[in-house]
Amino acid sequence: MPIPFLDLKAQHASHRAEILASIGDVVDRCAFAGGPYVEKFEQEFAAFCRTGHAIGVANGTDALWFALLALGVGRGDEVITAPNSFIATAEAISFCGATPVFVDIDEHTYTLDPARLEGAITRRTKAIIPVHLYGQMADMDPIMAVAARHGLWVIEDACQAHGAEYRGRRAGSIGHLGCFSFYPGKNLGAWGEAGAVVTQDLHLAEKVRILRDHGQETKYHHSVIGWNGRMDGIQAAVLQVKLRDLDRGNAARRENALIYRGLLADVAGVRLEPPADHGTSVYHLLVVRVAGRDRVLEGMGRREIACGVHYPTPIHLQPAYAHLGLGPGSFPIAERSAREVLSLPMFPELTAGQIALVAKELAAVVAAPRLVEALGV
């Protein structure tokens, strides 16, 4: 039985009629760029994140970029982040004219290691971007403490952590700003591209609002050089409907993770890290570590189990960032995890039977080389 990595059709089936009706309202009112649907979603998403403000933007990369610009990050500055994120985190830093500075990750959470943070700070450091990877939040209290000691801004990259919590606080609500992507495959996904910035700070919220709309404070009055980064009304309408089901979907992901954990606990050669004790993951991805990852990925594909790799090459080893001069061995934990991580099927509609089949096939694929060796063939 083929098992998809992600089943968006199943996700949208129960919401289809309501979403289409909501899109119809946007069309009838011609509220396509910004407008009342975006404003309503912003209010509801801010309440969901437990922040004072949410600003809808065109995508998650814009969210990161506008957040940095709102904090005054620019040429000559340095911004610290993790090397095992999607490249958009570093791109946003580069778009500002600043330089990304990487810090290796914690072996078990795959997020920025706070113990290594202070050693990366220089007189040019302006901000820190911890990445809440795979649905689990970084260890924010020590990160915020280091930032406070050095007078640094903190932007949460929460693009994979919609609804995740850290010691009872929602993703995006702890740093000075939090950034979200609503790419279709996210826990809260649009029917296209969209993103948001959240914050408790009214002044920063207003800066982001101006930046996303060509630097306009009022129509045709441009106080700064901005960008066209507005959220579409249609995407806001879709997200407003789907937001109502996000807590249920996240709970289903956590239940699926528990089933995976039980089935894979005693499988030799498969490493599934325990959840961090500082918070609650929303399991955007269910990631295991295996030796010979590429062989295992191919073997699962032959068995019609769709898996993925997030992310096979750390940012500092990408050709786009070769100018930083950071070769192999610069961040050994991130590099080792990049060679071993394998993302298994994970979505709210995944059934216990499907998970059992994934676990069974994974155990067989991982065991195959050892079996060959034991048989002497």
pLDDT digits (tens, 9 = 90+) for 12-45: 998 999 999 999 999 999 989 989 999 999 999 9
pLDDT for 374 beyond 70: no
Cα separation values, 219 from 59, 251, 266, Å = 23, 43, 62
- The rounded distance, in Å, linking the Cα atoms of 91 and 315 is 10
Backbone φ and ψ of 69, nearest 5° = -65, -40
CB atoms within 10 A of CB 33: 13
The three-state secondary structure class of 82 is coil
- The rounded distance, in Å, linking the Cα atoms of 81 and 122 is 14
**Span 265-282, mean pLDDT?**
95
pLDDT for 370 beyond 60: no
**Span 318-335, mean pLDDT?**
98
Beta-bridge partner residues of 222: 216
Cα separation values, 138 from 70, 144, 282, Å = 23, 11, 13
What share of the chain in percent tops pLDDT 70?
Answer: 98
The three-state secondary structure class of 214 is coil
Cα separation values, 169 from 174, 261, 279, Å = 7, 25, 9
Q: For the chain, where do the domains classified as CATH 3.90.1150.10 start and end?
A: 246-375
What's the CATH class of domain 246-375? alpha beta
Q: Express each pLDDT in 41-64 by its tens digit.
A: 999 999 999 999 999 999 999 999
Evaluate whether 53 touches 200 at the Cβ level (below 8 Å).
Answer: yes
Encoded tokens for 45:
């998403």
Q: What is the reported pLDDT for 377? A: 31
What's the CATH class of domain 8-243? alpha beta
Encoded tokens for 223:
């106080």
Return mean pLDDT, the chain: 96
Q: What is the reported pLDDT for 99? A: 98
pLDDT for 188 beyond 80: yes
Q: What is the reported pLDDT for 1? A: 80
Q: What is the reported pLDDT for 287? A: 98
Q: For the chain, where do the domains classified as CATH 3.40.640.10 start and end?
A: 8-243
In the chain, which ranges are continuous DSSP H helix? 8-13, 16-29, 36-49, 60-70, 88-95, 140-150, 202-212, 233-243, 246-264, 293-302, 332-340, 352-375
